[in-house]
Structure formats: structure tokens, C-alpha cells
Structure 1
């Protein structure tokens, strides 16, 4: 016959075992920075539609000014991406691995800059060209932000504060087979905020090499600042 003390100890042991089994079945929620690292490492290429809203501060007490554009976006790590703006005006931005091209269709004007000198501390580095979070941290201070709208947010601040970029927020969500890019918010040093929302995101599609090649159209003005 068991003693009362033995019965109490047995109940405590069973209770502790139950909590241990419960703890073993609980998976810690990844931090936003861990989600970003999973996105970078697990997404070698991507394609999505986007809507971009740019809000500029009002002048002399007037209301902020807002402009909206839309198009499609594609990238292939480690050094190539493309934005095709369709509305309201056509623009093409292509990084081919060597040169960053910007083509204004209406003006028939092309601006070309060396890519290596341009992208390291830009939003494109976070989304399309970085190889890991560790590589990003050479140029950005990264912080975990609170979960908002069902998204995990990473706040990135440039280490070189004298540039035109103030901060970037990246919104991510766990999708089928990996992490999806959902939103990108960019705040510049002049208080202008640009928000991109991505939809129909495709992870690791096969993209043709020609997508990231650009040749200035005939008679286009080519500027190389």
C-alpha cells in the first residue's frame, strides 16, 4: 500500500513529465530576421506583380502628395533584377550584373551606372542581391519589428547615415515551401515614403537570361553620371 507522500511525489512526477512532453511539441516562432535569412537563402530567383505608392511630405502646410504606380518585378541572385513599370508611365530598371540601367520610355532617355557602386546599401540589396543576412549586416543594422497585418517585419538602417536612405522595412510571410516577400517600405532622408506591395509571388521560377539584358533603344539619350 502506497503512502500519501509517495502518491504526491508520483503526481508531481507525472505532471512534470506532461509539461516536458508539451514543451517538446512546441516550436518557437522564427524571428523576423530569421525569416529574412530564410527568404534570402531559400529564394534564388523570384517574380511578382507590385503596386508602389510614393508619399511626399506636403509643402508649407499643404497635404502630403501621393503617387501610385504598378508593374512587375523579377530577380535572380546574386546580381540581377528587373522592374517593369507599366502604369501610369512606362519605365524599366535593369541590373544585369555589371550595370544598372534606368530607361524612361516617354523621354527615350537611359541612365547607366556601375552596379557595384550603386546597390550595396539600397533596398535592392535586401530583396534581390544579398547572399545572406550576415552579408547585409555589413551595410545595414537589422532589427526585429513587431508583427503587423500578419507579417513579420525587419527594420534595416544603413550604417552610413549620410546617404539619402533613412530606413527600410521588409514585410515577410510564411508561404508554401518557404518565405514570401509581401511588402517593402522605404523612407528617405527627405521624409518621402515609398511602399511596395507584392502579389502573386513566385519562388524560384526559371527565368530567361534575356530578361536581365538591356540594350539602349535607337536614338535614346544615354547618360552615364
Structure 2
């Protein structure tokens, strides 16, 4: 049981799981727009979205150790500002819901729920980067944004937290420009302990009408509810 619990924590990775991570989609950009402009358009245009995701968490290794990776996948939905939902389907059934006030994590197999105030746990995280603020300018108090060279068919932006003592070292945002406009393709997160969480996204839907119940969570009957 102990190993299973540790594996679940590893799968969820930084800041309570891909909390992380939420896609943003925009309209077509001017031909000369750089990658930071691209991200600004995401922030401006996308009010809601949903996509499938795959997350690969790589833990730092010591001399003589084999690199350890954990892969998970599922579905996520978001509605700005401040609401998102991750439904992990593999390898464990888990649900992560941010309702605007509380961040809920439900481990189905353990029948355990953890509840934390969003204001205390998100901060300068990928979740805040892409869901909390109304535009990119509002995030510049918490992040520095730097365009990176294009590679693998993507345009890249590096977001570095202003407060260097936090849990996140940097976030690389990979953006793909399609005929319909730009789309988020990758989030590559490096934390302060050397762990890497790589999220890739597919089957995006831009600005779908999401019912309010999507971001409502009620602990199941009999669940062990933990409020750190």
C-alpha cells in the first residue's frame, strides 16, 4: 500500500498534479508575432477549453540509479478565471478540481479526498500561469516571460517565477500554429527539486460551454477528507 501511495504522489507531480496545467487557445495571430505575443493571445481569447492529456513525470537520479519515469493520462477542462478539472484515467482513477476557492484531490482507490485553499497552493504555478489571470500583463508581477528558439515545429516561451524560492524553477510553453490559429501543445515544467513534468495535449476544444457542475466537487460518502 505504501508503494502505491508514493506512486500516486509521483504521478500527480508538482503542486498537486498537473495543477497544473490548463490549455489556452486563441484566434489567428499577426504574421510577425513572436512566441510571447502568441501566449498573450491565448490569455486574451480563451475563456474555457478541454483536451486529452498525457503526463510524464521524471524524477532526478543519483549516481548509479536508473532514470525513473511515471506516465499518466486523462481528460481536463478549464474555465478562466481559476477553475479547472483533471480526470486521471490511467494508471489510477483520480480527480483534481479547482472550483475557484478550493483545490480538491480525490483518489478513488484510496477513497481519500484532500482539500486545500486555492490561494495557498497555486501561486506561481502553471495553473496560475494559464488560468488565474485575465491576461498576460497581469502575470508579469509573478513571472518573467522570454521567447525561446523554435524547435520540433513549436514556438516556445519560457516562464520563470520572480520568486526563485518557490516550488517551480521554470515552465516551457510549447505553442503550435495551425490553419485555425495557435494551440497549446506542451507544458514542460521543471521544479526546484529537479523533477520534470512533461504534459502534451490533444483533441483541443476552444471555448466550449461547460456546465457549472464541471467544477463542483462533493466528497463521496464515507471518504476520508483531509484538510492540511
TM exceeding 0.5: yes
After TM superposition, which residue ranges in structure 1, 4 or more long, deviate above 3 angstroms?
175-178
Tell me whether 1:152 sits opposite 2:132 in the alignment. Answer: no
Q: Structure 1 residues 107, 223: closer, same or farther in 2, change over 3 A?
A: same
Q: Assess if the C-alpha contact under 8 Å between 1:157 and 1:167 holds in 2.
A: yes
Q: CA deviation at 1:60?
A: 3.4
1:47 corresponds to: 50
Tell me whether 1:34 sits opposite 2:30 in the alignment. Answer: no
2:112 corresponds to: 109
Q: CA deviation at 1:176?
A: 4.7
The whole-number CA distance in structure 2 between the counterparts of 1:140 and 1:44 is: 21
Tell me whether 1:197 sits opposite 2:200 in the alignment. Answer: yes
Tell me whether 1:141 sits opposite 2:144 in the alignment. Answer: yes
Q: CA deviation at 1:175?
A: 3.4
TM-score under structure 2 normalisation? Answer: 0.84
Question: What is the CA RMSD across the aligned residues, in angstroms?
Answer: 1.3
Tell me whether 1:118 sits opposite 2:118 in the alignment. Answer: no
TM-score under structure 1 normalisation? Answer: 0.85
The CA deviation string for residues 125-181 of structure 1, in whole angstroms up to 9 with x for no partner, is 122222111111111111111111111111011111111211111111223544211
Unaligned runs of 5+ in 2: 1-29
Give the number of equivalent residue pairs. 199
Tell me whether 1:207 sits opposite 2:207 in the alignment. Answer: no
Q: Report the more deviating stretch, 187-196 or 167-176.
A: 167-176
Unaligned runs of 5+ in 1: 1-26
The whole-number CA distance in structure 1 between the counterparts of 2:61 and 2:215 is: 37
The whole-number CA distance in structure 2 between the counterparts of 1:174 and 1:44 is: 19
The CA deviation string for residues 18-66 of structure 1, in whole angstroms up to 9 with x for no partner, is xxxxxxxxx6421111000101111110100001001112233212101
The whole-number CA distance in structure 2 between the counterparts of 1:114 and 1:51 is: 26
Choose 1 or 2 for highest CA Rg.
1
Q: Structure 1 residues 117, 206: closer, same or farther in 2, change over 3 A?
A: same
Correspondent of 2:88 among 81, 85, 88: 85
